[in-house]
Structure 1
Amino acid sequence: MKADSVENTGSHGAETAPINPRLEALLKRFAQGDQRALARLITLVENRAPERNAVIERIYEKTGHAHTIGITGPPGAGKSTLVNVLIAKYRAQQKRVAVLAIDPSSPFSGGAVLGDRVRMTDHYRDPGVYIRSISSRGSHGGLSRAAREIVKLLDAFGHDIIIIETVGVGQTELAIMDLADTTVVVTIPEGGDAVQVMKAGLNEIADIFVVNKSDREGADRVKAELELNVHLRPANGWRPPVVMTQASADKGVDKLVEMLAKHKDYLDAHRDPVREANRRAHELVEVVSGELAQRASRSLRTGGAEELVASVRHGRLNPYSAARRLLENPAALGELLAAHNNAD
């Protein structure tokens, strides 16, 4: 063990990765409920720092208690207003709430998306509420894993409710919704929104539909279309309800809170051990593949497999042949990863 690192043993006796004393102190503050420590650990995860895996190892056994709610739907559907009211409802129940907002721009850009979220500042001074935005710009597929790890930090910190809000309805947003226990798809009456939701693939992932701004013309039609679509689903398991809301006037949100609680009760009563085992296995594959990709990339940039990389650079060997040679040669692969460790 290195002299400047500390090893720890989890409650199941499994030895976790060593970490330096500075990070150990940060984790101690995190365990004591220090929100600044939570913020620093989230930044570490978002920036894909090498120590992030050791951090998640340490806190992993404290996760699994929060109800994670995904809120998605087209831009302009009133998701931020709805989330703002949901925070107030859950705080009235004395529940600790965290919001993870996925933005297409930098969290510090002051863009229109975050401008819409200014109303959430009502809750910033509440110690029982934690709100964080992370950027989806330039993530190239890494956002889903970063979001998963941030949700684990929020869970381990002791939040009862974690709300993940996405801006759009693209593939990135669909992948992030996979992190939620309950997915809420928000629609509005205008523009054939129900049809757009179905085209975007949100119909398959929705546990609850919300028709927001339901005072507008066409709301009943959208509700009927969604209910018909739910009716056409195979008649087994949970059937998504359609809830009408006017979030800006705090109408219908109590019904949504009720449906969210019902879905959580349903999940608790119908736990599927096979599905949970598959989810853990999928997470393992995601962690290993992501870590290998990052280590290989860093090593190749800092001199790992120097001769092979030189052959590719000069056109003597194509990238696919080079990759095959690496993967079929455990010694060469080990050398590559060892170069990564030396670089750290």
Structure 2
Amino acid sequence: MTAINGYNPYAALGSAYARTAAATQPSLLDALNAAETGAQSDPNAATNLTLSDAAKAKLASDAATPDFTTVTNDARAALDKLYAAAKVNGPLTSDGKTTVDLSSLDRRSLFAIATNNGGKFTPDEQSVASQELTGRFNAALAPAAAATSMTKNYTVVYKAALDYLDGASTEEKATSAWATQRAAVLKGYEAAKQKPDTAPSVSGDPVAAYLAKYPDGAPAGTTKTFTTVATDARAALDAQASLAAENKTELVYDPKRKFGQLVDFSSFDNRSLSAITLNQDQKFSNQEIYAAKKELDSRTRASILSSLKQSQQSGDPSQLSLGILQSYSAMSDEERQASGWTVSFRDNVLQQYKSTSNILSMLQGA
């Protein structure tokens, strides 16, 4: 992976955010707690504020979210730990290649690094963090862009971009860069809703820039070999088995078993589950294969049900086919093989989408 050279779009944002957030204000939760304390001590208080469970949960979640200074300090410590583990002194080699993997850092931490919040990060660190953020934006768009490439429905990729932008932290949303990007994407989305088969033309549109660079939908990325994925999955299962043994029990794969430590696949991505399911290198037992296949099938069903729910909520039956096409595009070849999602299956779903869209167009024109 090579580093980004030249302009870092996040570089100027850190100091601007710091100036905006310099004055610390009491949180809404603090104010409500104070109000509640006052109400309890004063029996003649005129107002009794009652919050719904959802509101209380939201406030509790906000209160548990670390402030940006803490996030920044943790990001600095995380980088230093990565350097120590890799036995390097910085994020780049002399020929500009990255030395550490930033995938373990969340989006908010990466934003802190890319914007040099607190002046704690070097230009090279800002550059690789910016590159990682760009990669995550691309990864968020890739399945939807591939579906758009097949269906010629541009609302799909623009909706994916909107969802990604709306998932930004409050610090990122406070920047003019985020506001400008979101305004352009929203304008493109609204245009696509009017003419789904026509690519919107909007100044400063990051989706249009992505599609111009990757017309087929997905960038060619460097991924682990499937053998490496299988080896890592084997090591992860062995680690769980060792932990179970330390706890004087055994690792089990059937939830109906009354004794033992049930295998935990929550940290396994779908490609890892596919490596276990396909067992190409003969590394896994029948029990492990069965459990991994069951977990993979469960995730596949959840993906389809999510698309079905979106179709029902929107009143647009074509959303089901679109969702399945996006899921297909997001899969590796091994995941498709393990899930039984063939090219023929994809073509049938695509044909169903086109037929449904044609019927809807006829009804709308009637």
TM-score by length of 2: 0.24
Normalising by structure 1, what TM-score? 0.25
User: Which one has the bigger helix percentage?
Assistant: 2
Q: Which has the higher contact order (CA 8 A, sep 6+)?
A: 1
Rg bigger for which structure? 2
